[in-house]
Structure 1
Amino acid sequence: MTDQESQRRQEDSPRRQRAEAKRDPTEWHGHRIVTETDLGAVFEEDDAARRRRSSMRRIRHGVVLVVLVGLVAAGVVVALGLARGDISLGSAEAIPKPTSTCPTGPFDYQDPSAITVNVYNSTTIDGLAGAAAEQLRSRAFAVRDIGNREGGSSARTAIIVSGEGGRANAFTVQRAFPDSIYVADEREDRTVDVILGTAYAGLVPPERVDITPAGLTCAPEDGATPTPSPAPTAP
C-alpha cells in the first residue's frame, strides 16, 4: 500500500465514522440519545419498590380494618353485658352486715313508680340482675343501676338495702321478693338496693303481693329463717 493510499484511508476514517453516526438513531452530534429501553432499565428497580410500598399500604389498611371491626364487636358485647347486668364497670361493694335491730314500722306500701331501685347480682348466674330488673320495671319500679356486687352467693332470694329515709320504700320492694331480708346502711337518699342470691327464682305474683302495713323482715342473729318484725302495739 502506497503512502498516498494510506493517507487517503486516514482521511476517510473520520468521515466514515460521522456517516455511521448519522445512520445510528441513538447518536446525535456525537451525543447518545436516551431511549425507552435505557429508561426502563434505570427505573425498573424504582417501579418494583413502588409496587412493594403499595402492597405494604394495602396490608396495613387491612390490619387497621380488622382491628376496628374487633373493637366495634367488643363494644357491642360489653354494651349487651351491661344491659343484662352481667358486667359492672363500677367497683363492687361488699354486702352490708345485718343490723342488730330491725325497723318495726309499720310502713305503708308505697307507689312503685316513686321508688328508685338498684339491682345487683351476688351469684355466678349470668343475667340474674337483668332479668329481675325487667320484672321490676314491668311493675312500674324505677330501676337505675344494674350490675354485680361482691359478698358471696347468698342462699337467700335477695337482700334489700336502704338508708333510714328509704325504709318505707324498702318495705314495698321487699314485698315483691319472697323470703328476702332487710339490711340498713348509711345512705341519705331514699333509693333501695336489691342484692340477689342463688335462691332467687322470680318476684311474688302481682295478685299475691301483701300491701298490708307492717315492719321489715330482717335476718335474726341466730341465723334462723327470718321473720317479720312485729308491729308496735297500740297503747
Structure 2
Amino acid sequence: MSMLTPPGMGGKYRITGNAYPRMRRPRRRRRIVLAVVAAGAVLGLGGWGTLQLIDVFSGGGKKATAGTEAASCKPRAAVSAAPLPPKPARITVNVYNATPRSGLAKATADELRKRGFAIGKVGNAPAAYDKKVPGTAILLGAAAANDGSFRVLATQLAGTQLRTDARKTADVDLILGTAFKTLTAKPASDKALAALATPPKPATTC
C-alpha cells in the first residue's frame, strides 16, 4: 500500500506511485459564486430603477412649484428708478446766441415758450462762449439739472453738450452754437417728452 493511500481505503481507491491525485473543485462553491453575482446584478437594477422614479417625481414637483411661484408673483415698486423730470413750465431757460446770425436767440426762445417752457434772459452769449460753440448748443446749469432740466430740454434739440457750474438757482442756459439750425419738430419732441414722463413699470417679486 502506498503512503498516499488513506487508511482503510483499498481496491479501486488505492493510490499508487508518487503523483498526487487530480482533485475536482466542488460544484457547490461554483453555485455560491454564481448566486452572489446574480444577486448583485438584481440589486444594481433595482437601485437604478429607484433613481429613475425619484427623478421623475422630483421633476414633476419642480414644474408644479414653478407654476405656483409664477402664479404668486406680485408687482413691486422699482427701487432704483430715476425720479420723474420736471414739466417744461417749471423750467426757466435763458437763451443765448453764440453765432453770427442775428435774431436766433429770440426766435428760439419764442418757440420754446410756445412749447410750454418758461423763458428768462434772451440775448447774445457771454464773451466766454460767443463764436466759440462749434456744435449745436450747450446746456449750462447747476449739477442738479443733470437729472431734471437737462433731460427735458434735450428732447427739444439733439446734439447738445451738458455742462454744470456753481450757480445756486434752477434756471438753465441754452447757448446756441454755429451748428444749430432749428429745434426738433414738435411731434417728435412731444413724443420724447411723453416717454420721459412715463413712470417705469414696477418689477415683480416671487
* Bigger Rg, structure 1 or 2: 2
When normalised by structure 1's length, the TM-score is: 0.43
Q: Structure 2 length as normaliser, TM-score? A: 0.49
